[in-house]
A and B are shown apart, each in its own frame.
Chain A
């Protein structure tokens, strides 16, 4: 699985970075920077908790293998 941010929803609340400091930091404007997007299939509790905590529903776990876009 993959951790992903819907940038159209993210308002930079910062809860994800507080809950997952080893994966997510914040840029100078307060928006999350993902350092490791790969999540094993039985996603760790901490990851699920961070996804559930996002007030904007912007942080998601997806099954998409790639991030290609066109």
Chain B
């Protein structure tokens, strides 16, 4: 595979680059923002299409949600069983290490709007709502809607809240006037007449509708055709939002990102998992699943040998504990316990590994949303990978500072 790398314009913008031909990020090497004219120039007009055609495209391309769960979009459309839904674009991107949805909303908003309107037309939707978490994205989407004749059909809603507020059911609840918190009952948005998907999912759909499924499947893997957006961060020379063919080996991405002395990678964000930086791991849902991890929403963070990886783990675990909505007892009490365990381990307390693993098992699956499960997965995979570091800390420490390679908090 040849790496075709494009530099983005504008210093203050999140850098974007691609391996292979850009699809979602097309035009962003030349434009800071694709206004409607530039959008049409780069992507062309959006072809119309009814529901059967859309379902054929979705089935043939196996297009799956890009918000983390990877649920097939075609199955989600069918789950509506003919209801005329509200189409909701989930742009709340509450994962602090993820930037890809924000980059799409801020810089290529028309592609996202196209995807939402294509679904809305096929389903005869009652309304289309784009939910955003960030003022720049909100402004970019409003500007975009004012530039197009069909823009008046779309509402923009600014939604606040923390990490768990980005969860699909929490967002559906917030849009219905409730709190931005996951509900206690495990109802699906589709049961309530809501077709909700992630920003990138709608942008992928806008690309798919234009390309047709055969061209769409020109790249990627057989089971997962097309590209994916990754947010690259941590100890890399070229951080940013990157578009790569699904199935691209980790080693190629790390080399292109100028990651040096990498000791570990975190995939799938802070509900994801720690891995040794094995160059052959395929960046696809199946590839990461076979490596025991998850692609999640496409976050890829590198940890290098200049920082204390165990300290990085402790820092993020404390952050995860603080992001509990405090609704569910096992999460409210269990995540702070888990954070204390990892901190104790960092400080070299013997026996802390066993207690941490026990607390991770104790919170797994015991909440209204997947926050405790995700935190447990993150900590457990970290502790398994950092076995040697842990030994060093039991014998007085690794001697490395904690540099904060893993980003937390507002940016």
Contact = CB atoms under 8 A, between A and B. Distances in A.
A70 interface: yes
Interface of A: 5-12, 27-31, 33, 58, 64, 67-70
Contacts of B396: none
Contacts of A69: 169, 186, 188, 369-370
Interface string B213-246: 0000000000000000000000000000000000
A62 B368 CA distance: 15
24 contacts: A5-B366, A6-B185, A6-B368, A7-B327, A7-B328, A7-B329, A7-B367, A8-B184, A8-B368, A9-B184, A10-B328, A11-B329, A27-B330, A27-B334, A27-B362, A29-B330, A30-B329, A31-B329, A31-B333, A58-B184, A64-B186, A67-B186, A69-B186, A69-B370
Nearest to A68: B186
Interface of B: 69, 71, 168-169, 181-186, 188, 327-331, 333-334, 362, 366-370
Contacts of A70: 69, 71, 168, 188
Nearest to B196: A70
B216 to A, nearest CB: 24
Q: Is the interface of A mostly helix, strand, loop or mixed?
A: loop
Q: Is the interface of B mostly helix, strand, loop or mixed?
A: loop
A7 B368 contact: yes
The listed residue with most A CB atoms (<10 A of its CB), out of B169, B184, B329, B369, is: B329
A44 B186 CA distance: 24
B323 to A, nearest CB: 16
Contacts of B333: 29, 31
Nearest to A31: B329
Nearest to A34: B366
B328 A8 contact: yes
A29 B186 CA distance: 24
A28 to B, nearest CB: 7
A30 B362 CA distance: 12
Given A7-B366, A7-B368, A28-B362, A12 B186 contact: no
